């Protein structure tokens, strides 16, 4: 299909482009940015006046719950939610049911996602069989099936010898290992150590749970030269360790999720289980350090850490509730809010959810690597068009995910989030278009 | 609307005379918190009774708990004598619907079975909602139901009435 | 942030649930203590019942076993003329599938007016209060390690009874503070009522430094903790703590932090010794001290019934 996105402000962080321009798309590729060729006859136009035209978002952490919840149609609903959030590529962790440790499972998942045409899906393969931490998986086979890296999701490897072997093996083929810096024994609590956990009588997770694990991982990277992506930093001390490791030149990248970037343990309030998250929300100083780290590039990417949790699993006493929140639809808004609050320029803000996560994925994206997270003439047409002016109130009525729990629920925060996605283009086709929903978008006329 | 003025001190003098007429040697005075308690205290002294007057609160037996909740802890009931077989004269400032007296009698029965219970009040303002009567009232007045009559005790111990609109 | 109003208070600042002492104004605590005094005298009458809760159904929901606490709540409710239903919901039956909220919904359909809840997880009574019908009141009988507000209140009653003036006292709480809901409730009550020095005493594994955030002085030495104390509250050392990662043995704890006569001698001569019970004789407290002159452990139990009667009658009379 020939598509013309016209009159918008095109912002491409990777190239530094920021100008009013049209984007002409045909056969799944961007044909031109600027002026469409004279003979370009679009079959469809999208009027992006007053809007920003950016590369489709790349979200490095989205749980889709499939395999495992096929009967609930989760793959479809969650991929559509991603598209509604302007996300065109997402990475999912291997902790599905069963875990993604067999090429067949990976192929099936990719196949089903492709058919839905809502969002590109890049799975992480399990680093060890069954995620048990005992034996390596067939990384070569898995990467051939489509895995872009290898991960233990939230199951730390206790056996450091095995972890080192896994890093060495992955390094052989140039695979990136994605690890949560979380010590298995220190991280058994449900809230971050501090005054709030003490007052509320909740079992706590000391900062050492993250720093001890970071030290171990960094040492093993030094020893093996493996590429590691650190998932979900949550503490100031953690950011400092990553900064030093990067300064040393170690092949390490890192991400932070939207919850840790905006909230603190005080937001738990009266045991609000929507705040039951992993990693747990820490204190103000940690939040500030995470924000600085994302701004100065110590932290490469902002991720949603999408995890749809059912009502039954949240309407429980705090410690029994399942950690997690629906977030993929909020990624752009949370990035914009951070950028606005901290005075980070638009290009840098958007980079953290487009070109920077694409860079983390690097060569694992194969042919897509050249244009993922960017707007490049000749590159794939993955585009997000959004209006920065209006705000929206997050609630179970405005969320498209099947999981209706989020700490950013307007009823809890009283704060509406900025930005509204008008349209998402995936491989040249429109994967999402916004319908005017009066209750969802209370402000901001176009 | 004319303002009604009640001279509490003058009425007290009447009450003293009336109570004297009701007393038997073994009668015990029991004042209903708070206005009745002040009256009972002064009566007890003026009549030179032995021992101490009793103090009784209706708080635990009121019938308006569902609407008003638990009234302030206020004066707890203090009855320093046996209730079984006792001859009791209840003293209160204002007798109105009769519900306070009903609650107070229930409270008394938590302590034992009195022989006789009688009642003397400073003002009987009518408006009874239960079959309760006072053997002596220093004054009988009719007031609009929207107004509340209470006894106050000033710093120097003098009694005064306060008449307010219920808000 | 919205939803920050203390869920225990209605719009007029009146108590409708008792979930935690934290966040309750001083006047509310004093009102409860004063009302408890009235009920203490009721419990000395021949007829110990008053009709305040007549016709109301009080459901004791104990997800964690506790015969003694449940019994005192039952006695308190019955003395208020309420109908009492005891539900011992062992962990295994909820594991069979019925969620906590489903249990509450079913019981509400049976016209419950008040839930007295004890649960192993911090925050469970808050969850229940958020989800039950507006006319139903919730009393927290202990949630995880978070709060045991009626115990805190009866401890305050005892202190007021024997010491009168909170503003002059030094109070020491000894034992496994970090896991103790009683300690947290005591600390909030003491600080709200104006006690100038509240000490928490124990080894670092049980009394971590971050307790200071609650406004207490942290002591890791028993002698220092006892010096010139007016009130000593000893906490029960739970069996799970005694073996393994937090504490090597009961004997070691007894030696270093047990209340023996010579440790007690460091406190003020008229100091009182309290304990929420049940006591582990010879572990946290010597028999001679538990049975001695300074001990007010048994009166605490009597105060407990009056305090619970006060709490239940106050909250049942206030509308949401």
Contact C46 B77 (CB under 8 A): no
pLDDT top residue among C178 and B75: C178
Name every chain B residue with its beta carbon within 8 A of the beta carbon of C317: 65-66, 68-70
- Which of these, C319, C307, C249, lies nearest to C73 by C-alpha position? C307
Which tokens belong to C117?
């809840």
Architecture per CATH, domain A2-53+381-387+411-441, reads as Roll (2.30)
Residue C163 near residue C193, CB atoms below 8 Å: no
- The sign of the CA dihedral A433, A435, A440, A444 is positive
Contact C47 B111 (CB under 8 A): yes
Task: Calculate what percentage of chain C has a pLDDT beyond 70.
Answer: 95
Is C31 in CB contact (< 8 Å) with chain B? yes
Give CA–CA dist A352/A336, Å, rounded. 10
Q: What is the pLDDT at residue A334?
A: 98
pLDDT 10s digit of each residue in chain A, 446 long? 899 999 999 999 999 999 999 999 999 999 999 988 889 999 999 999 999 999 999 999 999 988 888 777 789 999 999 999 999 999 999 999 999 999 999 999 999 999 999 999 999 999 999 999 999 999 999 999 999 999 999 999 999 999 999 999 999 999 999 999 999 999 999 999 999 999 999 999 999 999 999 999 999 999 999 999 999 999 999 999 999 999 999 999 999 999 999 999 999 999 999 999 999 999 999 999 999 999 999 999 999 999 999 999 999 999 999 999 999 999 999 999 999 999 999 999 999 999 999 999 999 999 999 999 999 999 999 999 999 999 999 999 999 999 999 999 998 888 999 999 999 999 999 999 987 543 344 444 43
Q: What is the pLDDT at residue A438?
A: 37
Question: Would the pLDDT of B44 be above 70?
Answer: yes
Q: What is the pLDDT at residue C1?
A: 39
- C101-155 pLDDT per residue, tens: 888 888 888 889 999 999 999 999 999 999 989 899 999 999 999 999 999 999 9
CB nearest to C121's CB, from A198, A318, A412: A318
Q: What is the pLDDT at residue B127?
A: 92
Q: In terms of CA atoms, which chain A residue is nearest residue C121?
A: A317
Q: Do chains B and A touch (3 or more CB pairs under 8 A)?
A: no
- Could you say which DSSP state residue B148 is in? E
- C289-299 pLDDT per residue, tens: 999 999 999 99
- B16-25 pLDDT per residue, tens: 999 999 999 9
Give CA–CA dist B31/B121, Å, rounded. 10
Give the residue numbers spanning the domain of B28: 8-63+74-165
Question: Would the pLDDT of C244 be above 70?
Answer: no
Residue B1, domain member (yes or no): no
Residue B16, domain member (yes or no): yes
Range name among B79-88, B137-146, C42-51, C140-149 with the lowest pLDDT average:
C42-51
Is A407 in CB contact (< 8 Å) with chain C? no
CATH of C149-301 given 3.40.50.300, 3.40.50.1370, 3.20.20.70, 3.90.1170.50: 3.40.50.1370
Strand C272-274's sheet: what is its strand order? C217-219, C197-201, C170-174, C231-234, C272-274
- The sign of the CA dihedral B114, B117, B122, B125 is positive
Query: Domain locations in chain A?
Result: 2-53+381-387+411-441, 58-370
Q: What is the pLDDT at residue C37?
A: 92
Q: What is the pLDDT at residue C96?
A: 61
CATH number corresponding to A58-370: 3.20.20.140
Name every chain C residue with its beta carbon within 8 A of the beta carbon of A414: 1-2
A305 is catalytic: yes
Average pLDDT over residues C209-236: 96
- Could you say which DSSP state residue C249 is in? -
Q: Burial code of A399-412, b = ≥16 C-beta within 10 A, e = fewer?
A: bbbbbbbbbbbbeb
Angle subtended by helix axes C149-163 and C181-192, to nearest 10? 50
Is A202 in CB contact (< 8 Å) with chain C? yes
Q: How would you classify the pairing of strands C137-143 and C114-119?
A: parallel
Residue A125 near residue A154, CB atoms below 8 Å: no
Query: Domain locations in chain C?
Result: 2-147+303-316, 149-301
pLDDT band at C42 (very low <50, low <70, confident <90, very high): confident
pLDDT band at B71 (very low <50, low <70, confident <90, very high): low
* Single pTM value for the model: 0.89
Is A433 in CB contact (< 8 Å) with chain C? no
Mutate to test the interface with A, among C121, C132, C246 (most CBs of A within 10 A): C121
Q: What is the pLDDT at residue C249?
A: 86
Q: In terms of CA atoms, which chain C residue is nearest residue A412?
A: C2
Which residues, at least 6 apart from A289, have a Cβ–Cβ distance to it below 8 Å?
Answer: A235, A236, A239, A240
pLDDT band at C312 (very low <50, low <70, confident <90, very high): very high
CB nearest to C2's CB, from A273, A320, A412: A412
Q: What is the pLDDT at residue B66?
A: 79
Q: Given A305, A382, A387, A409, which residue is catalytic?
A: A305
Average pLDDT over residues B83-111: 94
Q: What is the pLDDT at residue A412?
A: 87
Residue A326 near residue A282, CB atoms below 8 Å: no
Contact B73 C37 (CB under 8 A): yes
Question: Would the pLDDT of B2 be above 70?
Answer: no
CA dihedral A336, A339, A342, A343 (to 10 degrees): -120
Q: What is the pLDDT at residue A1?
A: 86
Q: Do chains A and C touch (3 or more CB pairs under 8 A)?
A: yes
Contact C317 B73 (CB under 8 A): no
Residue B68, domain member (yes or no): no
Q: What is the pLDDT at residue C261?
A: 96
CATH of C2-147+303-316 given 3.90.1170.50, 3.40.50.1370, 3.90.550.10, 1.10.3210.10: 3.40.50.1370
Residue B19, domain member (yes or no): yes
Q: What is the pLDDT at residue A69?
A: 81
pLDDT band at B65 (very low <50, low <70, confident <90, very high): confident
Average pLDDT over residues C35-53: 89
pLDDT band at C21 (very low <50, low <70, confident <90, very high): very high
Which residues, at least 6 apart from C139, have a Cβ–Cβ distance to it below 8 Å?
Answer: C17, C18, C73, C114, C115, C116, C117, C125, C150, C308, C311, C312, C315
Residue with token string 């079913």: C106
Residue B103, domain member (yes or no): yes
Average pLDDT over residues B136-151: 92
Number of folded domains in chain B? Answer: 1
CATH for B122: 3.40.50.2020
3-class SS string, chain A = CCEEEEEEEEEECCCCEEEEEEEEEECCEEEEEECCCCCCCCCEEEECCCCEEEECEEECCECCCCCCCHHHCHHHHHHHHHHHCCEEEEEECCCCCCCCCCHHHHHHHHHHHHHHCCCEEEECEECEHHHCCCCECCHHHHHHHCCCCEECCCCCCCCHHHHHHHHHHHHHCCCEEEECCCCCCCCCCCEECCHHHHHHCCCEECCHHHHHHHHHHHHHHHHHCCEEEECCCCCHHHHHHHHHHHHCCCCEEEEEEHHHHHCCHHHHCCCCHHHCCCCCCCCHHHHHHHHHHHHHCCCCEEECCECCCCHHHHCCCHHHCCCCECCHHHHHHHHHHHHHHHCCCHHHHHHCCCHHHHHHHHHHHHHHHHCCCCCCCCCECCEEEEEEEEEECCCCCCCCCCCCCCCCCHHHHCCCEEEEEEEEEECCEEEEECCCCCCCCCCCCC
Q: What is the pLDDT at residue C292?
A: 95
- C71-86 pLDDT per residue, tens: 999 999 999 999 999 9
ipTM of the complex: 0.89
Contact A198 C213 (CB under 8 A): yes
B117 min Cα distance to partner chain C (Å): 19
Q: What is the pLDDT at residue C309?
A: 96
Q: What is the pLDDT at residue B87?
A: 96
- C165-208 pLDDT per residue, tens: 999 999 999 999 999 999 999 999 999 999 999 999 999 999 98
SS3 label, residue C106: helix
Contact C146 A195 (CB under 8 A): no
Q: What is the pLDDT at residue C4?
A: 67
Q: What is the pLDDT at residue A297?
A: 97
In this complex, the chains that touch B, judged by 3 or more CB pairs closer than 8 A, are: C
Q: How would you classify the pairing of strands A29-34 and A17-26?
A: antiparallel
The partner residues of A25 in beta bridges, in order of sequence, read A3, A30
């Amino acid at each position: 299909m020939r598509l013309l996105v016209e009159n918008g402000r095109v912002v491409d962080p990777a190239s530094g482009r920021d100008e009013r321009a049209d984007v002409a798309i045909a056969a799944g590729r961007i044909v031109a940015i600027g002026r469409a060729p004279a003979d370009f006859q679009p079959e469809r136009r999208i009027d992006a006046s007053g809007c920003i035209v950016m590369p489709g978002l790349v979200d490095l952490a989205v749980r889709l719950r499939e395999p495992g919840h096929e009967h609930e149609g989760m793959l479809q609903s969650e991929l559509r939610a991603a598209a509604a959030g302007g996300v065109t590529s997402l990475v999912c962790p291997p902790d599905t049911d069963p875990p993604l440790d067999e090429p067949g499972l990976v192929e099936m998942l990719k196949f089903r996602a492709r058919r839905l045409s809502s969002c590109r899906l890049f799975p992480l393969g399990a680093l060890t069989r069954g995620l048990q931490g005992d034996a390596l998986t067939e990384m070569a086979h898995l990467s051939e099936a489509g895995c872009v890296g290898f991960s233990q999701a939230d199951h730390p490897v206790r056996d450091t010898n095995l972890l080192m072997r896994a890093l060495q093996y992955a390094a052989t083929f140039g695979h990136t290992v994605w690890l949560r810096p979380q010590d298995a024994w220190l991280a058994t609590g449900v809230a971050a150590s501090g005054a709030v956990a003490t007052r509320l009588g909740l079992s706590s997770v000391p900062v050492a749970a993250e720093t001890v694990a970071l030290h171990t991982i960094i040492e093993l990277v030094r020893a093996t030269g493996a590429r590691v992506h650190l998932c979900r930093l949550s503490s100031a001390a953690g950011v400092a360790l990553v900064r030093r490791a990067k300064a040393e030149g170690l092949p390490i990248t890192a991400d932070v999720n939207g919850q840790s970037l905006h909230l603190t343990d005080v937001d738990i309030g009266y045991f609000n289980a929507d705040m039951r998250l992993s990693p747990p929300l820490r204190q103000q100083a940690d939040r500030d350090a995470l924000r600085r780290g994302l701004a100065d590039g110590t932290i490469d990417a902002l991720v949603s850490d999408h995890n749809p949790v059912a009502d039954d699993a949240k309407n429980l006493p705090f410690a029994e509730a399942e950690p997690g929140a629906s977030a993929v639809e909020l990624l752009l808004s949370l990035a914009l809010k951070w950028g606005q609050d901290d005075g980070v320029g638009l290009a840098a803000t958007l980079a953290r959810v487009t070109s920077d996560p694409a860079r983390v994925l690097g060569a694992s994206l194969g042919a897509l690597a050249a244009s993922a997270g960017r707007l490049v003439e000749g590159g794939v047409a993955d585009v997000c068009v959004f209006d920065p002016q209006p705000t929206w109130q997050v609630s179970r009525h405005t969320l498209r995910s099947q999981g209706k729990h989020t700490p950013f629920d307007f009823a809890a925060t009283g704060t509406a989030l900025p930005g509204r996605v008008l349209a998402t283009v995936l491989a040249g086709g429109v994967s999402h278009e916004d319908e005017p929903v009066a209750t969802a978008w209370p402000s901001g006329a176009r | 609307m004319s303002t009604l003025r009640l001279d509490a001190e003058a009425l007290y003098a009447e009450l003293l005379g009336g109570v004297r007429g009701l007393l038997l040697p073994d009668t015990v005075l029991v004042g209903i918190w708070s206005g009745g308690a002040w009256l009972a205290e002064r009566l007890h002294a003026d009549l030179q009774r032995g021992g101490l007057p009793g103090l009784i609160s209706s708080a635990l037996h009121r019938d308006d708990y569902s609407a008003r909740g638990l009234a302030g802890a206020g004066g707890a009931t203090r009855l320093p004598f046996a209730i079984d077989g006792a001859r009791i004269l209840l003293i209160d400032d204002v007798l109105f619907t009769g519900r306070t007296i009903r609650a107070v009698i229930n409270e008394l029965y938590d302590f034992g079975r009195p022989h006789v219970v009688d009642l003397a009040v400073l003002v009987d303002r009518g408006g009874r909602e239960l079959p309760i009567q006072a053997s002596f009232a220093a004054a009988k007045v009719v007031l609009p139901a929207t107004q509340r009559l209470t006894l106050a005790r000033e710093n120097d111990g003098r009694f005064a009435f306060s008449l307010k609109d219920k808000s | 942030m919205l939803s920050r109003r203390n869920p225990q208070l209605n719009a007029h600042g009146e108590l409708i649930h008792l979930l935690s002492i934290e966040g309750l104004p001083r006047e509310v605590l004093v009102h409860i203590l004063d009302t408890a005094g009235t009920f203490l005298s009721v419990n000395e009458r021949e007829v110990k019942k008053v009709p305040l809760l007549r016709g109301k159904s009080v459901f004791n929901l104990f997800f964690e076993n506790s015969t003694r606490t449940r019994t005192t709540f039952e006695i308190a409710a019955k003395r208020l003329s309420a109908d009492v239903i005891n539900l011992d919901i062992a962990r295994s039956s909820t594991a069979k599938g019925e969620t906590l909220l489903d249990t509450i919904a079913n019981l509400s359909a049976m016209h419950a007016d008040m839930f007295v809840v004890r649960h192993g997880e911090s925050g469970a009574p808050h969850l229940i209060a958020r989800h039950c019908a507006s006319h139903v009141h919730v009393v927290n009988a202990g949630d995880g390690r978070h709060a045991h507000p009626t115990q805190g209140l009866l401890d305050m009653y005892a202190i007021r009874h024997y010491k009168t003036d909170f503003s002059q006292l030094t109070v020491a709480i000894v034992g496994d503070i970090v896991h103790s809901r009683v300690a947290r409730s005591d600390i909030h009550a003491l600080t709200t009522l104006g006690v100038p020095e509240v000490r928490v005493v124990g080894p670092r594994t049980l009394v971590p430094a971050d307790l200071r955030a609650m406004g207490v002085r942290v002591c890791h030495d028993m002698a220092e903790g006892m010096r010139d104390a007016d009130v000593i509250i000893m906490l029960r050392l739970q069996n799970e703590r005694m073996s393994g990662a937090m504490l090597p043995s009961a004997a070691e704890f007894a030696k270093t932090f047990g209340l023996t006569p010579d440790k007690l001698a460091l406190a003020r001569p008229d100091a009182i010794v309290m304990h929420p019970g049940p006591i582990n004789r010879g572990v946290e407290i010597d028999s001679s001290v538990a049975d001695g002159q300074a001990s007010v452990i048994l009166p605490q139990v009597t105060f407990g019934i009056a305090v619970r009667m006060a709490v239940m009658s106050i909250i049942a009379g206030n509308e949401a």
